[in-house]
Amino acid sequence: MSTRSLNIALIGSSFMGRTHSNAYLKVAKFFDLPLEPVMHTIAARDAEKVAKFAKRWGWLNNSTNWKEVCSNPEIDLIDIGTPNHVHKEMALEALSQGKHLACEKPLAGNLDDAREMYKAAKKYRKSKTFVWFTYRRCPAVAFAQQLVAQGKLGKIYHVRAAYLQDWAGPDAPLVWRFRGDIAGSGSHGDLGAHIIDMARFITGDEISEIAGAMEHTFIKERPIPESTGGEISGRNAKTSKTKMGKSTVDDAVMFLARFKGGALGSFEATRLSTGDKNRNRIEIHGENGAIRFDFERMNELQWYDATLDGALQGWSTINVTSGADGHPYAAAWWPTAHVVGYEHGFINMASDIINVLGGKDAVVPLPDFADAYQTQRVLQAAVESARNRCPIKMSQIK
């Protein structure tokens, strides 16, 4: 890797391709970095579309051959922004070529693939790995993690997490997110992975048991998109009025959990929560205090201090945008209360990735393949609990 620059290649040019491209395009404009990010190559299947994408987003080169990109000696970091079913193949190739590697979440579509990726990362130790659990990079979530690490909540009793969306009604097309052979799971892997990671991240604790779970598919068939193979990623795709295809993933999953430290947890993920557009919520209650976060109000963290005199106790709302007061990432952005948005989580994460690769520390811990594998184990345990209607100890999930 160059001591002056970091040559980056991104595989995938759909939704995540845009978010990652925007992050690399903007990160050096707001953060002082030890390496200069260079948007070297974008790779995707359609030659015409990827060429247009490269021009629009500032990539110097484009390719339809991701394996050639992985073997290119000029590339330092490979970033996988594709659907879940190809994460493993691409990751193993990139690691075997000695590249540093960033991968979209969940780590893979199933536990077997995730395990292989985790083992490969251990084998190729010189290559650093990262997984895009970007909600860790929301200033409010990062600040919550810091508060817990400082002992502000004391012993933790309860974790309640839910990721609620409503876009996947009966008219939503059969995009790849509804195909089990591509996505692996539905709302569980798409949304549940985020809240599992967020709970593990903020508490610093691991889940020890899934005490019970339910999964359900409400909409069995969906209209097939008017595109080749029906594998486009857009949620608003045009659909055929007559052709229907089978949805092979869950629409909703709920489960109860125990943490090693003794806390109890509840988790819910659905894309059929009418009225909730992107309500990623978590609350954590401890002996000395509590926190609440809702991504639809992402610049705020609700805080309860149980150590105050009873007459003064009550929920307060912290606007987590003050760099002068040490709110994570805020100093790189705007004056206090000039709020940040969805894309800033990706830019914040890009800054931490580049800092780590340049020998500096991340603001808050970054998830690597080993970390993301633990979240994948919880995803699997919840599925097994739901399908077998029984508790599952995490020690049973290897």
Residue 335 lies in a domain: yes
Q: How far apart are CA 353 and CA 330, in angstroms?
A: 17
Q: Are 188 and 82 part of one and the same domain?
A: no
For residue range 362-380, what is the model confidence (pLDDT) as tens digits? 999 999 999 999 999 999 9
Rounded percentage of the chain residues whose pLDDT exceeds 70: 95
Q: Identify whether 398 is part of a domain.
A: no
Same domain membership, residue 94 and residue 157: no
Domain co-membership, 148 together with 270: yes
Cβ–Cβ < 8 Å for 18, 57: yes
Whether 358 is in a domain gets the answer no
Q: 83 and 144 in one domain?
A: no
Question: What pLDDT does 236 receive?
Answer: 55
Task: Say whether both 184 and 298 belong to one domain.
Answer: yes
CB of 185 within 8 A of CB of 250? yes
Q: What is the pLDDT of residues 128-170, one digit of tens each?
A: 999 999 999 999 999 999 999 999 999 999 999 999 999 999 9
Any domain includes 353: no
Q: How far apart are CA 375 and CA 115, in angstroms?
A: 11
Please report the pLDDT score of residue 226 as a whole number.
79
User: Do residue 123 and residue 47 come from a single domain?
Assistant: yes
Residue 255's DSSP bridge partners are: 213, 267
Residues 18 and 61 in one domain: yes
Last residue of a domain, one of 111, 134, 157: 134
The answer to whether residues 156 and 148 touch, using CB atoms and an 8 Å cutoff, is yes
Number of structural domains the chain divides into? 2
Same domain, 199 and 329: yes
Question: 24 lies in a domain?
Answer: yes
- Whether 230 is covered by a domain: the verdict is yes
Same domain, 122 and 146: no
* DSSP string covering 170-225: TTS---GGG-HHHHSSSHIIIIIHHHHHHHHHHH---EEEEEEEEEE-S--EEEEE
Tens of pLDDT along 200-251?
999 999 999 999 999 999 999 999 987 643 333 445 555 556 799 999 999 9
Letter for the amino acid at 273?
Answer: S
CATH number for the domain spanning 181: value is 3.30.360.10
Say if residue 322 is in the same domain as residue 200.
Answer: yes
pLDDT score recorded for residue 231? 38
Q: What is the mean pLDDT of the chain?
A: 95
Q: Write down which residue in 134, 164, 199 finishes a domain.
A: 134
Return the CATH number at 65: 3.40.50.720
Instruction: Give residue-wise pLDDT tens across range 46-61.
Output: 999 999 999 999 999 9
Q: In this structure, is residue 364 part of a structural domain? A: no
Is the distance from CB of 382 to CB of 255 less than 8 angstroms? Answer: yes
Q: Is pLDDT of 262 > 70?
A: yes
pLDDT in tens, 320-341: 999 999 999 999 999 999 999 9
Residue 308: other Cβ atoms inside 10 A: 11
Task: Check whether residue 54 and residue 191 sit in a common domain.
Answer: no
Given the structure tokens 């184990």, which residue do they identify? Answer: 377
pTM: 0.95
pLDDT tens-digit map of 98-129 = 999 999 999 999 999 999 999 999 999 999 99
Percent of the chain with pLDDT over 90: 94
Domain boundary residue, one of 134, 156, 183: 134
Residue 256 covered by a domain: yes
Are residues 79 and 144 located together in one domain of the fold? no
* Structural domain harbouring 379: 136-340+373-387
